[in-house]
Amino acid sequence: MKTLPHDPYLRNINAEYCRQNGLSYDELIEYDEYIEWLGQFGFKIPMDYDELEFPDDFSDRDLTLFILRWA
């Protein structure tokens, strides 16, 4: 399992989702669409919010692109 720390990646992803959908951060957790939208990034939806977990078959290239996009 490949991991990255929660911050700043998830914070930046959340901000982008809120921006795209005209939501405040407080409204974010109320939307099932949010969970579905998060799935596109390849990590396991964090339950403890300490780390983002990527499967072993997630390529190093894709992980690097994820880091560059969301750092």
Count of domains in the chain?
1
Q: Looking at 5-14, 15-24, 43-52, 62-71, which range is the least confident one?
A: 43-52
> Counting Cβ atoms within 10 Å, is residue 10 exposed (0-12), middle (13-18) or buried (19+)?
buried
At residue 48, the pLDDT reads 67
Name the more confident of 2 and 32.
2
The per-residue b/e assignment along 52-66, b for 16 or more CB within 10 angstroms, e otherwise, is: bbbeeeeeeeeeeeb
Answer yes or no: is pLDDT of 69 > 70. yes
Does residue 42 come out as left (phi exceeding 0), alpha (psi in the -120 to 50 range) or beta? left
Q: Alpha helix (H) ranges present in 1-71? A: 9-21, 25-28, 32-38, 60-70
The mean per-residue pLDDT over the stretch 5-26 comes to 86
The mean per-residue pLDDT over the stretch 13-35 comes to 81
Residue 37's domain comprises 2-70
